[in-house]
Amino acid sequence: MLRRVVDSCVFCSIVAGTAPAERVYEDDLVVAIMDVHPAATGHVLVIPRTHSQDLWDIERQDAEHTMATAVRVAGMLRRSLHPAGINLFHATGAAAWQTVFHFHLHLVPRNEGDHLVPPWRPDQPRAEDASLRAVADTIRSVPT
């Protein structure tokens, strides 16, 4: 299998072992590292070895294995750090807060009273049914 690598990508450098990182798990397809700018204690990034810019670029096999590894590492975090919960986070595109343009998943252990806040509130006004239907129709109209 030919793996895509981008010379200017810090995650490609970490995967290749030419940039430092504190690894917590790795296999043939992924590397899981401690985030150097953690949102909370134990914040881990799960990174596929093959470079893909984002969710729109990643190959299905890499996406599936990255998610399966996120489940595995979440279990490791639960058994070692005993958080009250965990957030799984991904960003595709600068508008969604992506800062490193190599697909990755964030695992952020959570505890009651930590300083993190939700990116949106579930008590926002309910969308109108017609509006939801119109957007759903638009989404359904394109091939899968």
Residue numbers of the domain that contains 59: 10-116
pLDDT by residue for the chain (144 residues), tens only, comes to 456 777 789 999 999 999 999 999 999 999 999 999 999 999 999 999 999 999 999 999 999 999 999 999 999 999 999 999 999 999 999 999 999 999 999 999 999 999 998 888 888 888 999 999 999 999 999 998
Residue 5, domain member (yes or no):
no
Q: State the amino acid at position 7 in one-letter form.
A: D
Residue 41, domain member (yes or no):
yes
Residue 130, domain member (yes or no):
no
pLDDT at 7: 79
Residue 3, domain member (yes or no):
no
Residue 137, domain member (yes or no):
no
pLDDT at 119: 84
Residue 129, domain member (yes or no):
no
The CATH number linked to 73 is 3.30.428.10
The domain tally of the chain equals 1
DSSP one-letter string for the chain:
-PPP--TT-HHHHHHHTSS---EEEE-SSEEEEE-SS-SSTT-EEEEESS---STTTS-HHHHHHHHHHHHHHHHHHHHHH--SEEEEE---SGGGT--S-S--EEEEEE-TT-S---SS-TTSPPPPHHHHHHHHHHHHTS--
Residue 143, domain member (yes or no):
no
HSE (side-chain half, CA atoms, 13 Å) at 125: 4
pTM value is 0.91
Residue 140, domain member (yes or no):
no
pLDDT at 101: 96
Query: CA 94, CA 35: separation in Å to the nearest integer?
Result: 19
